[in-house]
Chains A and B, each alone.
Chain A
Amino acid sequence: MTRRRSVRKIRRGGVGLYSPFWLLLPASLMIGFILVIPLGYTVYLSFFKENLFARSPIFVGIKNYGVLFKDKIFWISFRQSAIFTLGSVSGEYLLGLGSALLLYKSLRGQTIWRALILFPWVVPIIVSTLVWKWMLTPRYGIINNLIVNLGLPSKFWLGDPKVVMPTVIFINIWRSFPFFTIVILAGLQAISLDVLEAASIDGASGWKKFRYIILPHIRGISATVVILHIILTFGHFDTIWFLTRGGPSTFTEVLPTYMYRQAFMFYEVGYASTLAVWTVAIIATITVFLYYTFYSSKRSR
């Protein structure tokens, strides 16, 4: 109510030019220019057979979409995108929840630990992947060195089809779980201590407190951060590209890397756009589905 009144006042003060509309316009125009128009252009391009080296693009209608359905690598990438996303986000959530509970417990120095944990998340991905690549190097890498000293066989972590996907997921978890930690920790800190104390007095065990007080309290932020990361991970390109470039063969190819390969290595711009449209459509569907599932179940409670 006060908010509404003040806006009217500002307008009445003879500064109508500075209505919210004008204040929002520059940012909106910019977003339109670098986001909405390119996105529309992607949809447009997806109806063409266009190679960057060919003279002129040929309109092919929805033919690219038909090609896509018969494209084996598209399905492989799709499946691996799903595996990469589910593996990463579930690992990030578990590790994030665990570490948040740990920080919540050990109260001293909480802010310092919190900041140190978040560090991998702010470091350029090229730096962290480079370090992991070095640690995982077959001969001189510290990890194989450690394994061999323990009497176990060394592994070709980023070259062996059997272990490459788990390795990539592991590194991605290492990089992203800190964000879960700080958000869940903030959620934990919002729980009133009185409630937990009352439960203790009533004789609730640690597990019961966790199950019936802590978990319900952090349900909302958990959903927010999980949905956000499913979206971000499904479209994530850098980590996989730096570590394996989708290889060996196609064992870590995901939709973003496949899209990039089509556009910037095969120069098949039309087909790459089709892939882009599909990927955005898949992410949008997942988002709407998750959002709806979460909020409708919340209402029914």
Chain B
Amino acid sequence: MRKIYWWLLLLLLMVFVLFPFYWMIVSSIKPTPDVLTLNPTLIPKRVTFEHYGFSWYQMNLGRFFGNSFAIAIGTTFLALLLTTPASYALSRIPRGRNLALLVFLLSYIIPPVALLTPLYFVMTKLRLVDTYLAVVLSHATFGIPFCLWLQTTYFDGIPVELDEAACTDGASFLQTMRYVILPVALPGLVVSGLFVFILSWDEFLFAYTFTSSDASRTITAGLFQFIGANIVQWGDLMASATLTTVPIGIIFFLIQKWLIEGLTAGAVKG
């Protein structure tokens, strides 16, 4: 009997957490008169996809989508390229592992907005403003510490005996990496890489500041423009918001199990 109360509470919690997304989708498929009304219905009476067409073509969302994809993929590869050897080393060094991790994690105490001005000067000096590379480089500020943190735990899970066995069999360092360690570590690397993709896709402040034209503007920066323009076409805005959420929604639900395990493993131990 008491079980029912727990389930009711859980239902309440789920409504609280998910209702905004339900409302976002519902508002995006209602025709405008049904959106801007004093008697909105929870279930749409009429369904239309005109808002999606409008936001994809008129609001140039397609272009922003492409930019965001390119930047997120770039960020993912840059982060993985730099952090895979580093986190392997951190998990294998005899001393200073936690200290080194702490130093990298200290970067979290610097709010991104505090780095904005100096990074803007750096990007201007390097003539990178309004390029993908500027955004990719700035996204490494959070991508690298995050990947190091997650991947060091993954590499800890790979027994050192594996390295030793390869070594005694005469494998060189690169061979050990290529044929022994990386295949075992691959799932972990993929999960952390995909999560960096999400982080990069979601990021706004750097993306907005270091881009100045539609040629490189990301989806989050693009959406922000529409808020600024005082548009009250909520149907179109909700369609754009839904489209922005789809790619990361898919990635998130594919990796959620491993992601949550990775995220909590570090916290529970620490």
Which A residues fall within an 8 A CB radius of B?
2-7, 9-10, 13-15, 17-18, 20, 23-24, 26-28, 30-31, 34-35, 37-39, 41-42, 45, 99, 102-103, 105-106, 111, 113-120, 122-128, 130-135, 137, 139-140, 142, 145, 174, 178-179, 182-183, 185-187, 190, 220-221, 224-225, 228, 231-232, 234-238, 242, 256, 259-260, 263-264, 269, 272-273, 276, 279-280, 283-284, 287
Q: Which residues of B contact A119 (CB under 8 A)?
A: 17-18, 21, 249, 252
Among B113, B121, B244, B264, the residue within 8 A (CB) of A256 is B113
Of the A-B pairs whose beta carbons lie under 8 Å apart in the complex, a sample of 20, sorted by A's number, is A2-B160, A30-B140, A31-B145, A37-B118, A45-B117, A105-B6, A114-B256, A114-B260, A115-B253, A116-B14, A119-B21, A128-B20, A130-B241, A134-B237, A174-B20, A235-B113, A237-B113, A256-B111, A259-B114, A272-B117
Given that A7-B92, A140-B36 are contacting pairs, would A31 and B114 also be in contact in the complex, using a CB cutoff of 8 Å? Answer: no
B122 near A131: Cβ-Cβ < 8 Å: no
A174 to B88, CA, bound (A): 36
**Counting CB contacts under 8 A, is B196 at the interface?**
no
A24 near B90: Cβ-Cβ < 8 Å: yes
A200 to B248, CA, bound (A): 44
Given that A131-B21, A183-B263 are contacting pairs, would A6 and B160 also be in contact in the complex, using a CB cutoff of 8 Å? Answer: yes
By DSSP majority rule, is chain B's interface helix, strand, loop, or mixed?
helix
Among A31, A41, A134, the residue within 8 A (CB) of B107 is A31
A166 to B207, CA, bound (A): 29
Residue of A nearest to B264 (CB): A186
| Bitwise interface map of B from 95 to 110 toward A, beta carbon under 8 Å scored 1, else 0 | 0000010001001111
B244 near A13: Cβ-Cβ < 8 Å: no
Residue of A nearest to B2 (CB): A105
Given that A15-B173, A38-B118, A238-B204 are contacting pairs, would A142 and B23 also be in contact in the complex, using a CB cutoff of 8 Å? Answer: yes
A35 to B145, CA, bound (A): 11
Given that A6-B92, A124-B204 are contacting pairs, would A23 and B85 also be in contact in the complex, using a CB cutoff of 8 Å? Answer: yes
Chain B nearest CB from A92 CB (Å) reads 13
Chain A nearest CB from B67 CB (Å) reads 14
Residue of A nearest to B177 (CB): A18
A140 near B38: Cβ-Cβ < 8 Å: yes
Which B residues fall within an 8 A CB radius of A?
3, 6-7, 9-10, 13-14, 16-18, 20-21, 23-24, 27, 35-40, 81-83, 85-86, 88-90, 92-94, 100, 104, 107-119, 121-122, 137-138, 140-141, 144-145, 148, 160-161, 163-164, 167-168, 172-174, 176, 198, 201-202, 204-205, 209, 219-220, 223-224, 227, 234, 237-238, 241, 244-245, 248-249, 252-253, 256-257, 260, 263-265, 267-268, 270
A264 to B113, CA, bound (A): 11
B204 near A42: Cβ-Cβ < 8 Å: no
Q: Which residues of A contact B27 (CB under 8 A)?
A: 134
Given that A4-B94, A105-B6, A113-B14 are contacting pairs, would A39 and B253 also be in contact in the complex, using a CB cutoff of 8 Å? Answer: no
Residue of A nearest to B195 (CB): A122
Q: Which residues of B contact A115 (CB under 8 A)?
A: 252-253, 256-257, 260
